[in-house]
């Protein structure tokens, strides 16, 4: 995990943490079944 400054962290929306957990879930066995639902849950981001 990259260390980020306090100012940057405050600027970022709270949903960033949710996005990470979402990506984690996406890689597991639910890949085929809940892919559609998870993509809807996560904010669309291409990094």
Give me the DSSP letters along 1-47. -----HHHHHHS-THHHHHHHHHHHHTSGGGTTSHHHHHHHS-----
Residue 47 in contact with residue 28, Cβ under 8 Å? no
**For the CA atoms of the chain, what is the radius of gyration?**
13
| pLDDT at position 47 | 45
pLDDT in tens, 6-38: 666 666 555 556 666 666 665 665 555 555 555
35 compared with 3, residue with greater pLDDT: 3
- Domain residue extents for the chain: 6-41
Q: Which residues contact 25 (CB under 8 A, 6 or more apart)?
A: 34, 38
Residue written as tokens 């809940």?
34
């Amino acid at each position: 995990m990259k260390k980020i400054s306090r100012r940057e962290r405050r600027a970022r929306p709270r949903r960033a943490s949710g996005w990470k957990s979402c990506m984690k879930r996406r890689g597991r066995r639910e890949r085929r079944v809940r892919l559609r639902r998870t993509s809807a849950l996560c904010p669309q981001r291409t990094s």
